[in-house]
Homo-oligomer: A and B are copies of this chain.
């Protein structure tokens, strides 16, 4: 084994040890540590910015894209946002130790199903340095140790943030390894990390589709995936047209670069002639590029024709692909084929049609007469989220503190034997 692999193993073993001790830290001490992390981030803004400047300079020298440099760059405002986010997490209710259910068996055994931390959570992420403090805060709050491995392009920023927040732990009795950073750039070591299923309990990749796929392909540890959001709005023949226009606009343009913005609109053929010209008008005002199926093109002359791959694509941009459909059945089938099981909405006044759509669309979040933009931990009232899961196993949709826990069964007896 290489020295560096041994070093990683030692870090992971310490994180595992720490995770077993976290169960005995009170909610109050966890919250005090998280609040201290927020204060320390603010106090050390100058230091963090100067370390971040090194990463930005290297990125610029390497000719990395402007969008990536933007994601990498920290400002005073962004550091304040990171601190605010930690303060909000500290203020949330402790998710650990809740009795989820309790029952008594005929033989008098009492079975309690209790929420407990998962253990060690591995976060593999890309260029945004704020993920370091966000994920550390959420993991600590839920009683988990975290192992952070950020992008090599943000390594100076991440090391600086980690240094600042990790020193807040020990004074509250929390082992320092509860927040562990793996600061190696080599990808083959990430593969090594992903094989340590006896030391890490779950991996959450945060980043683009290629990162997530790389992690899923190489991990022996369970992965909770947060793939893309190919979200749909279906405008039914029984839609309130004004409501449909408002929801369409909100879901497409309010913040086009996020995963819960719509990328596709399906329109019932019986309403298309009335609805589409109005829709095109308001979308055009906002600078949205439209791409249409052949039926759409008959109504909206001159827009670009959508190719087959358009139906799969997450633009994260001011682009909307539009398809005219024969009805709810076709809309549902289209969404289940091309969508990413994230968030999809129907606008209709017809309750039966809505019920069918809500039942049959196989997505984490299905909306009736509301914008898909509400798929978000805060909007759902769950608090900060670690991501929006497009998996169906363990966590689906916004993944917040509750989903960062698992459960155990505690069985209380008085000498019961199995017969």
Contact = CB atoms under 8 A, between A and B. Distances in A.
A411 B254 contact: no
B409 A380 contact: yes
A413 B349 CA distance: 11
A83 to B, nearest CB: 24
A413 B370 contact: yes
Nearest to A197: B216
A397 B374 contact: no
A129 interface: no
Interface stretch (A39-47, A165-173, A218-226, A303-311): A218-226
Point out which of A220, A223, A394 has the most chain B C-beta atoms below 10 A from its C-beta.
A394
Interface string A395-419: 0110000000011111111111110
Contact of A363 (B254, B393, B408, B418): B408
A189 interface: no
A392 B118 contact: yes
A359 interface: yes
Interface residues of A, number: 63
Nearest to A406: B392
B381 A396 contact: no
B118 A415 contact: no
A217 B195 CA distance: 9
A221 B254 CA distance: 34
A369 B413 contact: yes
B217 A220 contact: yes
Contact of A109 (B24, B370, B391, B411): B370
A154 B339 CA distance: 39
Given A336-B20, A380-B111, A392-B118, A364 B409 contact: yes
Point out which of A360, A375, A393, A412 has the most chain B C-beta atoms below 10 A from its C-beta.
A393
A23 B222 contact: no
Given A202-B392, A393-B394, A396-B408, A360 B415 contact: no
A358 interface: yes
A411 B119 contact: no
A411 to B, nearest CB: 5
B250 A393 contact: no
A103 interface: yes
B418 A371 contact: yes
Contacts of A23: 359-360
A371 B246 contact: no
Contacts of A268: none
A216 B220 contact: yes
A409 B201 contact: no
A153 interface: no
Nearest to A358: B410
A197 B392 CA distance: 12
A243 interface: yes
A267 to B, nearest CB: 18
A374 B106 CA distance: 13
Nearest to A195: B217
A366 interface: yes
Given A222-B223, A362-B20, A370 B416 contact: yes
Interface string A20-64: 100110000000000000000000000000000000000000000
Contact of A408 (B111, B366, B391, B406): B366
A247 interface: yes
A339 to B, nearest CB: 12
Interface of A: 20, 23-24, 103, 105, 109, 111, 118-119, 197, 201-202, 216-217, 220, 222-224, 240, 243, 246-247, 250, 254, 336, 358-360, 362-371, 373-375, 379-381, 391-394, 396-397, 406-418
Q: Please give me the 7 A-B residue pairs with the lowest Cβ-Cβ distance, nearest first.
A: A370-B413, A373-B418, A250-B417, A394-B394, A370-B416, A222-B393, A243-B415
